Amino acid sequence: MRSGPRYMIRCDMEGVSGIVSYAQAEPGQSEYGFGLRQFRADLRACLDGLIAGGAGEIVVYDEHYYGRNIDPEWLPQGVSFIAGKPPYRADWPGGLEADFAGLVLLGFHSRYGTLGGLLHHTYELDIRDLRLNGVSVGEIGMETAIAGDLGVPLLLVTADSAGCREAEALVRGVAVVAVKDALGETGGLCHPLTLTTAWIREAARAVVTQAPQTKPWFCGPEVTMEVSLNPGRYATTLRREHAAMVNAAGDMVLRGPTTTAVWAEYWQRKLHTQQILAATP
C-alpha cells in the first residue's frame, strides 16, 4: 500500500466527458458502451493524477445506477472500489472515514430543475427537490454534506459546466473541471478526451500537492431534510406508507443529528416503498 493521504472518489456518469444522453449512461441502453469508455477514461485520469501527486489509499464508490460500472482491471494497485451501490447507514457513510484527506466527485451533474442543466436530476427521476435545513441540494450537495459529517472536505468536482457552478456556489474554493459546457438538457459542447483527461489528471494531482483550502460542509448538529417528489406511483405509495412523516405540502420530512442519518433513513423508507411497488401489479 502506498504511503500518503487517503482520498475517496464518488462516481456518477452523466457528468463524464462526452456524455449527453441517458442512452449513453444507462446500462443496457444502445450507447452505454460508449459512455462506459468515456467514464473509464475520466476515472483513470483522476486516479493517475491523485497517485502522481502522492496519494496513498484511494477508495472509489461507484454510485451510478446499480453501481456495477467499474471493471477491476481498470484500477492500479492501492485503489479499491465499492460496487453494488449499498445504501448508506447512519453508521456507514458510504465508506468514508474521518481520516480521509478529501472527497472527489467525478462525473456529477446539476440538481433537478437547473436551468440549462445537462441531464439534470436529483438521484432519481422521482425526486423533485431535497432540502437540508432549508438549503436546496442535489447529489453534489448531499454527498458534500455527508462528507462534512466526518469533517472531510470536498476538494474536486468534475462535471458539466452547470454542475461545476453548483459546486462552486456551495463550497467556496473547490476545484472544478468542466469537461463539457451544458447547452440544455440533452446537449453540450464537448471536447476531445485527450484534453478533458489532461485537465482532470492535472486537477487531481494539484488536489494532493496544493489542496484547495475548502472547509467541510457540516449541516448538524440537527438536520431537517425535506424530500419533494414528482407525481407518480412511487410518490403516492411513499406518502401512504409513511403518512406520519409527510407534511401538508406532500413532502417527506426527516429529522436527525446528521445528514448521513436522515439520508440513510430516507433510503430505508425508499427501499420499503419499492418492495411494495414490486409486489403490486
pLDDT, tens digit, for every residue of 223-234?
999 999 999 999
Strands ordered across the beta sheet of 252-256: 135-137, 127-132, 223-229, 252-256
Please, what is the average pLDDT of the chain? Answer: 96
Mean local confidence (pLDDT), 198-221: 96
> How many CB atoms within 10 Å of residue 103?
27
| pLDDT at residue 2 in the model | 75
Which grid coordinates are listed for 99?
481520516
Mean local confidence (pLDDT), 161-184: 98
pLDDT digits (tens, 9 = 90+) for 143-162: 999 999 999 999 999 999 99
pTM: 0.97
pLDDT digits (tens, 9 = 90+) for 57-70: 999 999 999 999 99
Helix H or strand E encompassing 237: helix 233-241
| pLDDT at residue 265 in the model | 97
Give yes or no for residue 31 having a pLDDT over 80. yes
Top-confidence residue, 281 or 48: 48
- Delimit the domains of the chain by residue range: 6-128+138-209, 223-279
Rounded Cα distance between 195 and 181, Å, is: 14
Of 3.40.630.30, 3.40.50.10780, 3.20.20.100, 3.40.250.10, the CATH number of 6-128+138-209 is: 3.40.50.10780
Which grid coordinates are listed for 249?
405540502
| pLDDT at residue 3 in the model | 85
| pLDDT at residue 1 in the model | 66
Rounded Cα distance between 109 and 118, Å, is: 7
| pLDDT at residue 251 in the model | 97
Contacts of 218 (CB under 8 A, 6+ apart): 145, 148, 149, 151
Mean local confidence (pLDDT), 240-246: 96
* In contact, 152 and 214? CB cutoff 8 Å: no
* In contact, 109 and 19? CB cutoff 8 Å: no
Strand partners, 124: 122
Rounded Cα distance between 49 and 61, Å, is: 17
- Residue 220 phi, psi (nearest 5): -75, -170
Residue 12: band (very low, low, confident or very high) from pLDDT cuts 50, 70, 90: very high
| pLDDT at residue 220 in the model | 83
Give yes or no for residue 173 having a pLDDT over 70. yes
Mean local confidence (pLDDT), 149-176: 98
Mean local confidence (pLDDT), 156-173: 98
Give yes or no for residue 181 having a pLDDT over 90. yes
| pLDDT at residue 146 in the model | 98
